[in-house]
Amino acid sequence: MSERKYFGTDGIRGHVGEAPITPEFMLKLGWAAGQAFKQDGQRNSVLIGKDTRLSGYMFESALEAGLSAAGVDVKLLGPMPTPAIAYLTRTFRASAGIVISASHNPHHDNGIKFFSAAGTKLDDALEAEIERWLDKPIEVCEPAELGKASRVDDAPGRYVEFCKSTVPNEFTLEGMKIVLDCAHGATYHVAPKVFSELGATVTVIGGNPDGLNINLNVGSTHLDGLRAAVLEKEADLGIAFDGDGDRVLMVDRDGSEVDGDELLYVIASQRFAEDRLRGGVVGTLMTNLGVELALKEIGIQFERANVGDRYVMERLKANNWVLGGEGSGHMVIRDCTSTGDGIISALQVLFSVWKSGKTLAELRQGMSKLPQKLINVRVGQRFDPFSRDDIVAAVRRAEAELGRSGRILLRASGTEPLIRVMAEGQDENEILRVVEGLAQVVEKSTA
């Protein structure tokens, strides 16, 4: 397939007010999506949800107008986690779901994600179809065929009950003290209900969105506040979501960070012990080598996919496996839901804690992460680092230096103008030196 013009690895994202994140483009995108998702012979509907960014109001209205012009009905969900839109798209039998969010980015960014009628990320062919319609002039349907818009007032309650339904009825969090960091984002009004209704004593930070403070020194990319709250409250653990609620990280009772790689290991090893893992585990090119080694040691198959939860999902489906994830906290648990879900992933970790009778610290002891260093090199525009001869030569020299005891990865970010430079191996000092050297080569190459 040819290079996509607008879609990255996770939808369309950018700075508010700069193309394509403008009201004019969103109007056209709504119309194009309406045309691409339309099914002949039936009344079509699309759900729109958003996180807590101030710009969400503007883009919600523009998308609604575009969809209506295409003759598609719109159901407005308001602020809801990204995975909630995936779930509600399925339950409402909608043609598609649209999420207005820039995930873990600051408030001045925003973006669009789509879900299919099955609640999954779009495949490349459907994204290409939307882009094909974007190249055409808007043609408004007949006035009598315009789409109608309505609000779904009970969306939060529906999603809370769904999250609770993914764990057995006998599961309880009674006696457990948990701190939740909702990143002033889309989980602020649903996550506290889920965990408190299951019996936990819940303290919330990052739960007062004002449209501008989403991800601001809170959430899964800023764990210091959560760490301090866990220690102050003497909580059993802390849970941090990102702005749109599709990823989760944790903090142990002693303040130690537990990243997505470790959480994936905790869920996989406990499921395997209970004979309910159903196949192997899918990680990504960025997954720490320690995860792979620890899983294989206990007899669990492991496979790497390209970075991005959509690619993890592709490999899971191909293998008919159910569990995969990324170090950033994106986890896919296919026998629970159709996409990455921070709340549901956290519940699966807590179920492992409850079922095993062990603490989170004890459950994560089964794996040791190898030293890994990542440097993000900001560039003017995205490009394939392996298209530059000087970068390729530097990578080959570094690989020869590390030998079989290490691993190197260079990739362009799918959501930001960054080249991610990563090295991993046995010797931390050697890894740091190698990755800093490669980052300098990338910087010089793009200067």
**Each residue's pLDDT tens digit, 176-234:** 999 999 999 999 999 999 999 999 999 999 999 999 999 999 999 999 999 999 999 99
Residue ranges of the chain assigned to CATH 3.30.310.50: 372-446
Looking at residue 1, what is its pLDDT? 41
Residue closest to 251 by CA, chosen among 265, 239, 260: 239
| Rounded-to-integer distance, Cα 102 and Cα 108, Å | 9
Looking at residue 36, what is its pLDDT? 95
Phi-psi region of 266 (alpha: psi -120 to 50; beta: other; left: phi over 0): alpha
Looking at the predicted structure, is the pLDDT value of residue 55 above 60? yes
Which band of pLDDT confidence, cut at 50, 70 and 90, is reported for residue 3? low
Looking at residue 398, what is its pLDDT? 92
Looking at residue 152, what is its pLDDT? 97
Which stretch of 44-58, 158-172, 239-253, 373-387 has the lowest confidence by average pLDDT? Answer: 373-387
Looking at residue 108, what is its pLDDT? 98
Residue closest to 167 by CA, chosen among 265, 328, 315, 276: 276
**What's 368's DSSP letter?**
-
| Rounded-to-integer distance, Cα 377 and Cα 436, Å | 10
Residue closest to 176 by CA, chosen among 221, 220, 238: 238
Number of Cβ atoms within 10 Å of the Cβ of 390: 11
Cα of first residue to Cα of last residue in the chain, in angstroms, is 30
Looking at the predicted structure, is the pLDDT value of residue 39 above 80? no
| Rounded-to-integer distance, Cα 60 and Cα 417, Å | 26
444: tokens are 């010089």
Model confidence pLDDT, tens digit, residues 352-375? 999 999 999 999 999 999 998 999
Integer angstrom CA distances of residue 55 from 48, 62, 151, 211, 286: 14, 11, 19, 8, 32
Domain 159-366 classified CATH 3.40.120.10?
Answer: yes
Looking at residue 308, what is its pLDDT? 84
Q: Please, are residues 68 and 36 in contact by the beta-carbon 8 Å criterion?
A: no
Torsion of CA 227, 228, 230, 233, to 10 degrees: 180
Q: Please, are residues 42 and 199 in contact by the beta-carbon 8 Å criterion?
A: no
Phi, psi of 378 (to 5 degrees): -75, 135
Looking at the predicted structure, is the pLDDT value of residue 269 above 90? yes
Query: From the centroid of its chain, how far is CA 112?
Result: 13
Number of Cβ atoms within 10 Å of the Cβ of 380: 8
Model confidence pLDDT, tens digit, residues 75-86? 999 999 999 999
Query: From the centroid of its chain, how far is CA 353?
Result: 23
Q: Which residue has the tokens 């794996």?
A: 367
| Mean local confidence (pLDDT), 318-346 | 96
User: What percent of the chain has pLDDT above 90?
Assistant: 85
Q: What is the DSSP string of 17-40?
A: TSTTSSHHHHHHHHHHHHHHH--T
For the domain covering 12-153, report its CATH number.
Answer: 3.40.120.10
| Rounded-to-integer distance, Cα 201 and Cα 192, Å | 10
Marked catalytic residue, from 55, 101, 103, 352: 103
Residue ranges of the chain assigned to CATH 3.40.120.10: 12-153, 159-366
Looking at residue 324, what is its pLDDT? 98
For the domain covering 372-446, report its CATH number.
Answer: 3.30.310.50
Phi, psi of 313 (to 5 degrees): -60, -40
| Mean local confidence (pLDDT), 58-68 | 98
256: tokens are 């130690």
Looking at the predicted structure, is the pLDDT value of residue 102 above 80? yes
Q: What is the DSSP string of 186-219?
A: TTTTTHHHHHHHTT-EEEEES----SS-TTSS-S
Q: Mean pLDDT, the chain, as a whole number?
A: 94
103 part of the active site: yes
User: What percent of the chain has pLDDT above 70?
Assistant: 98
